Structure 1
Amino acid sequence: MTLAVETVLTPVDGSDTSMRAIEYAVAIAERYDAGVHALYVVDEETTRTASFGDVDDSELAAANEAFIADAHELAPEGVSLSHSSAYGFSAMTKTRHPGSVVLDAAEDVEVDFIVIPRQPVSGDPDEPLGRAAEYVLQYATQPVLSV
């Protein structure tokens, strides 16, 4: 059975750990002649302050764009890199979790493979990608590489 991969999803948060996940996603995409979609997952504190209107969307967008610009440097010419962002939490919806956000994006973008950073940067398991990893590993229908 041959694995067919057209799009690789990797959730990111701007950290070095998520940049390493981009490197893996790009390597997989290059191997399968696929594209990469980076999902920038916004952390809980930023989400909470955004719900009160205390976050400057342009600053958040600038941080996302700066990270994605660095990620583009990792992708060889034959690998396309698209991106989007999502709040990993919701003050109004208790079922919104970083893992469910990643899996929703995987469905929306129709990805065939997921590369997810498993280790939180600070060692705090409550960081969004650390929380998302366990969820994605349990519930994803696509193959998942945890890095």
Structure 2
Amino acid sequence: MSEYSWPDAMNLTVKNKVGIGTNNPEAELHVLGKLLGAAQDTSGTALRICCGKTPEGSTNWQPHGSEGIYVDVDTSACGFQSTPIYLVNMHGNDFNWETTGGSSAYERTNQSFRVYVRFPSDRDGRPNLTPDFANSKGWHIQWLAIGN
């Protein structure tokens, strides 16, 4: 393959590697920026994939009742026109295996969703579930959204 660079505005480089949005591709296809994939939904509409996570150790958890907490996750930067499919997981360093709810997205819109987390009510001797406790254990939400 010959060496060839497109004008800088296109950021496309060919040297056994193709870069879109970068002049220094590190893989055979290196895309830097928003990507609209070739996948389609059942109606034939192209799908967008976007992912993110809340800050580990400083997620904006809020109290919810006596046993739970919740966090609102902003996905507006993804630019979805309709509510996407959200795949959600809670991650952390300790106690997260004792929780429920960390994989469920509620109040879903094209710009956000909410996750509620709680300890089961039958656990004796467990610490109080507060936003500070959650952040001290590094609890955060990782998510993937697929839609259009």
Higher strand share: 2
Kindly name which structure, 1 or 2, has the bigger radius of gyration based on alpha carbons: 2
TM-score by length of 2: 0.25
Give the TM-score normalised by the residue count of structure 1: 0.25
Q: Which has the higher contact order (CA 8 A, sep 6+)?
A: 1
Task: Considering fraction of residues, name the structure with more helix.
Answer: 1
